[in-house]
Each structure stands twice: as structure tokens, then as C-alpha cells.
Amino acid sequence: MEKGLKLTKIDLKELEEEKKRNRIERLKFIDLYAKWLKKTPNKVWSKQQNKFLNK
């Protein structure tokens, strides 16, 4: 038996479908977050951003 890397089969069609699903999911999140930002007072979301950026 040979030592070394074991290669796996890559299904390019499945990878492309996963890429599309991920993109759609990201766009939905961006839309949801933008809606939240529009309806949330600046004071609230800016505090959250500050906490995130100063970690």
C-alpha cells in the first residue's frame, strides 16, 4: 500500500450548486440586515458595531 495523500473524487456540479446556494444565502442575509438597519435607531446598531469592531 502506498503512503501519501488520498485523493477524493470532486463532483464539480455539486460544488457549483453549493456555490449558488451560498451566494443566495449571503444575499438574503444582506437584505435582512439592511432592513434591520433601516428600522433600528442609529444608537442601537452603532453600539453593536462598536462591540464587534473592538473585539
Instruction: Indicate the pTM of the whole model.
Output: 0.62
* Cα radius of gyration (the chain): 20
- Reported as a pLDDT band with limits 50, 70 and 90, residue 51 is confident
Tell me 7's DSSP state. Answer: P
Judge contact between 45 and 37, C-beta under 8 A: yes
Q: Minimal CA–CA distance to 35: which of 27, 47, 24?
A: 27
1 pLDDT above the threshold of 60:
no
pLDDT of residue 8: 72
Q: What is the reported pLDDT for 28?
A: 98
Q: What CA–CA distance (Å, rounded) separates 28 from 41?
A: 22
| Per-residue pLDDT reduced to its tens digit, 16-41 | 999 999 999 999 999 999 999 899 99
pLDDT at 52: 79
